[in-house]
Chains A and B, each alone.
Chain A
């Protein structure tokens, strides 16, 4: 079945304009490059908690010559989340792949530098607390729910990628509810519980650190 002549004439006028081909992709980096959210500060530290955490991790592990990129949108990152680490061999690592790469480079530290296995285990618990309750409060303070953003999302026919507020609690609770006939729109966040849990977490951190210089007796 052929396309009718009238349609052929219309289609023949397309493309209306051809753009030049995109430049070739950059060569793989010669040095490891950490993709992070940008910051307003000139010191190169990211304004995002997760990115800043991994910048600190790489610095405290003693790694040098780590470049930083701030021009990558999260949608271009693995699982749409920054930071990512671009390393030799053109490999791109998600955040949970960074410690293994660092161990490859530097050799594995016994108990990751903690004074004992029990301290290393306890550090996992504190990391869970920080990445949960404290991180949620920081995101909430930085990205409070916006009436404009939620209304735009309600009206938009296209789903957006997971907003930062999706990490505020254990599950994503839609504003319209689970049982309503309306499709799930927006994210319902309870500010009071986030702030209460944050206060408890900070109190616990303070009690645990007490008069020590570093957590868990580290040097």
Chain B
């Protein structure tokens, strides 16, 4: 039962490629709401995560309250409609761990494909979001968002070197292979890639594929021959894993490194994700988009209301430094002129 008559508003990254959001947690939140509270929420697309209390999407507003992390959203929605009602204490504790693993490990695979591989970033992810940003933010914000993923992907070993296209050894025509070889050599000259570095980068791609296999193998074994992970009905874990797998499966990646691996070697995970997607994809999804009238304010540092005393002190400190510095400069200029 809904606790309030006001609609639920879920703020997410915009959708693309036939999916309602390009972010795996946003997509998981949408699927979760479609299963738990179909037709009782609105999706609000935005490219300004600064409006979120955490600076990240998704976040949820309902009845004057805001729930700003993915786990806080799930916890609140479960008080309205609980997808995990049939799980016992042991299963719920295990689910907490598996959710962390899905968000972290499969999330690294998705982020690697969207942000780390240059061909995918330049030809897929960046074009999908750049024109949603207001002027002039479209010239720097997408790159900042990409850079924000770098520490996590570097520490997990998924921040790859620039991609290289594999030679098409399946081509039966020697002319095609010669043409492809010329294109690859031109690309290497453009990127300053030496032949030995090219070999190293192929090796890096193999390492990433092996690590992806170890992650996907675990979830394949967990699913086994079952329809869903933990019970006869879709649970939160099914939704989160499906949300991540769909973003590996559906986007038309120019460099489909992990997508090909998923399709060839993990049919059970693909079927599971398609099964969950099939339950919700035809349902209507009221969606609106934050207008660009906010574009001017979005260029300033976020000054939305916050209860965070630390953030408030920092803002006043920054303002004080700015005014103090300006006053010192004006005073010294005045004194020199006298």
Contact = CB atoms under 8 A, between A and B. Distances in A.
B97 A126 contact: yes
Contact of B149 (A128, A171, A197): A171
Contact of A179 (B71, B155, B299): B299
Given A96-B157, A173-B55, A151 B317 contact: yes
A63 interface: no
A179 B133 contact: yes
Nearest to A188: B55
Interface centre among A154, A177, A180, A181 (most CB of B within 10 A): A177
Contacts, number: 163
A204 B145 CA distance: 32
- Main secondary structure, interface of A, reads helix
A178 B157 contact: no
Nearest to A121: B218
B216 to A, nearest CB: 12
A206 B7 CA distance: 36
B218 A177 contact: no
Interface string A189-209: 011110011001101110110
A168 B313 CA distance: 21
Interface centre among A147, A176, A204 (most CB of B within 10 A): A204
A183 B89 CA distance: 47
A184 B68 CA distance: 21
Q: How large is the interface on A (under 10, 10 to 19, 20 to 34, 35 or more residues)?
A: 35 or more
Contacts of A170: 56, 103-104, 107, 152
A150 B90 CA distance: 42
A31 to B, nearest CB: 27
Contacts of A126: 97
Interface string B151-165: 110110100000000
Given A79-B155, A145-B310, A125 B98 contact: yes
A180 B215 CA distance: 37
B321 interface: yes
B154 A124 contact: no
A201 B301 contact: no
B134 to A, nearest CB: 8
B100 A133 contact: yes
A162 B300 contact: no
9 contacts: A79-B154, A125-B101, A171-B148, A178-B141, A188-B54, A188-B311, A190-B54, A200-B75, A204-B92
